[in-house]
Amino acid sequence: MIGKLERRKAYIKLLLREYGVGYLFLLPWIVGFSCFVAFPVGWSLYNSFNKVLISSGSFKYQWVGLDNYKRMLITDNAYPIVLYSLFQEMLIIIPLILIFSFFVSLVLNQKFPGRGLMRAVFFLPVIFATGQVLMELFAQGAGEVPFMDQYDLAPILQQYFSERTANTLMTVLSRAVIILWYSGVQILIFIAGFQTIPKSIYEAIRVDGATPWESFWKVTFPGMLPFIGLNAVFTIVDLFTFPFNPVLQIIKNNMFSPTTGYGYASAQAWLYFLLILILLGITLWLTYRATKGKGGLR
């Protein structure tokens, strides 16, 4: 019994030694979340099961259970369609951003004159195109792609694809500027990931006669799997909080509408959050499965 207790204490000390520093760095976030975020999140969850009325500067709560969720999914004809369309669009844009940033970072990781300048150019949109600046740029038409109207791509796509697929492709093409602007952080993370792979491994497989194509699939790509997963998580969170997100706009409109109010808007927000959480969980699970046994995540 004493031996088991000692082994358990030793195991706890080992965990603290391995993960204690990481949790120490997380401590400011944990304190901030507990003080400023936890209560509003819990309050919004409580609101989603109530009909919230505002009268004379105070809130009145009427418990309705799951009625807000039933109304949102069964009665509301707009929200589920917009939600489905957004997820369909994002499931195309997110891989495009990851593929684009991966290969750009692969090029920027090579040694060539002006490499530092090119890295700065790709990262500049992260600094400038955020928040109100991004909204103003889109209001002035900076987010549009001129060749789509010049070459009238819509009829061409409808000729070879179904109407829904063609509309989705047109939407993705219209977001080409977003793919460029929202790739800066991912490129930086991928460049950092490339530098974690020891050069001695490349030298060893080159001596063994491996081609650059083989070295990419046998060394580079497996070594970058954790960073692909990290960038996927970052991109999902970043795009689903995009300023022009139609789902967030519907939630905001319902929040201040007298016919819906905070309760109904909170139910919509929680469904949106749960779907994103499921997508993040699938991404993390796929990343873990892909890196398992390759020296990646444990």
Per-residue pLDDT of 251-265, as tens digits, reads: 888 888 777 888 888
pLDDT of residue 298: 39
Residue 131 confidence class, pLDDT cut points 50, 70, 90:
low
Angle 102-103-108 from CA coordinates, rounded to 5°: 100
Q: Please give the DSSP secondary-structure letter assigned to residue 254.
A: H
What's the pTM value of the predicted model, to 2 decimals?
0.76
Please give the residue that has the higher pLDDT: either 35 or 163: 35
The lowest-confidence range among 49-58, 59-68, 203-212 is 49-58
Contact 62, 48 (CB under 8 A): no
Cβ 45 vs Cβ 62: under 8 Å: no
pLDDT band at 282 (very low <50, low <70, confident <90, very high): very high
Residues 6+ apart with CB under 8 A from 157: 165, 166, 169, 170
CATH match of 78-244 with 1.10.3720.10: yes
Count of residues for the chain?
A: 298
- How far is Cα 131 from Cα 255, in angstroms, rounded to an integer? 21
Residue 215 pLDDT greater than 80, yes or no: yes
Mean pLDDT of the region 148-170: 69
- At residue 134, the pLDDT reads 62
CA distance 174 to 189: 26
Q: Give 95-139 as a DSSP string.
A: HHHHHHHHHHHHHHTS--TTHHHHHHHHHHHHHHSSHHHHHHHHH
Please give the average per-residue pLDDT across 95-111, as a whole number: 87
**Which residues are within 8 A (CB) of 50 and not within 5 positions of it... i.e. 6 or more apart?**
61, 62, 63, 64, 263
pLDDT of residue 297: 40
pLDDT at 89 over 50: yes
Is 60 exceeded by the pLDDT of residue 2? no
Report pLDDT for 132: 61
Of 221, 271, 276, which is closest to residue 91 (Cα–Cα)? Answer: 276
For the chain, the average pLDDT equals 80
Up-side HSE of residue 84: CA atoms within 13 Å toward CB?
A: 7
In this prediction, residue 145 has a pLDDT band, given cuts at 50, 70 and 90, of: low
* Integer Rg of the chain from CA: 24
Alpha helix positions (H), 240-293: 246-255, 261-291
Six-digit token pair at 7?
A: 């082994």
Q: How many CB atoms lie within 10 A of CB 262?
A: 22
Confidence band, pLDDT 50/70/90 cuts, at residue 276: very high
Ranking 30-34, 145-149, 198-202, 206-210 by mean pLDDT, the lowest is 145-149
- The single-letter DSSP state of residue 55 is E
DSSP β-ladder status, 50-55 and 58-63: antiparallel
Where are the domains positioned within the chain? 1-47, 78-244
Q: Is the pLDDT of residue 142 over 70?
A: no
With beta carbons less than 8 A apart as the criterion, state whether 145 and 176 touch. Answer: yes
